[in-house]
Amino acid sequence: MGVGKPVKQVGVVVAGSALLVVGVLLLVLPGPGLLLVLAGLIVLASEFPALERYVDPVRDRAMKAAEDSVSSPLRIAGSVTAGLLLIAAGVVWGVVRSLPFGGWSTGSSLILSGLVLLALLGWSYRRVRARRPAPRT
């Protein structure tokens, strides 16, 4: 029964490649591209150890970008607004079929992008807040 290992390898390659490709696309589109690139590299490095040398530099850049995204109230407000606008656009694209690429396939991807953006923003905020020293009273 040696079918399990090749199936696992294919699954890892497909999942890691998908994360990597979507992450690269989100580097130029609105979204948390660097964090998805990091996730894709980590998944792929589990099967291809030669990729591990790229994980730490990308991790450092991704964590810096995550910290920068919540460095001021204005950036947080902008990111929350962008996430909510993506979700709203997804609903509109899902309902109004006369729009270019109208339908729920486009709408659901926009909604998912907005939700991922908001989730990663929350994660970044909690991570940065946990690293700050507690204010003295």
What is the DSSP track for 30-75?
Answer: SS-HHHHHHHHHHHHHTT-GGGHHHHHHHHHHHHHHHHHHTSSHHH
Question: Which pLDDT score, from 0 to 100, does residue 35 have?
Answer: 80
From the list 130, 124, 128, the residue with the least C-alpha distance to 38 is 124
Residue 54 has pLDDT above 60, yes or no: yes
Residue 136 has pLDDT above 70, yes or no: no
Question: Which pLDDT score, from 0 to 100, does residue 134 have?
Answer: 60
Average pLDDT of span 122-136? 75
Question: Which pLDDT score, from 0 to 100, does residue 4 have?
Answer: 72
CA distance linking residue 107 with residue 37, whole number of Å: 23
Sorted by sequence, the CB contacts under 8 Å of residue 57 that are 6+ apart come out as none
CA distance linking residue 47 with residue 54, whole number of Å: 14
14-39 residue pLDDT tens: 888 888 888 887 777 656 678 888 88
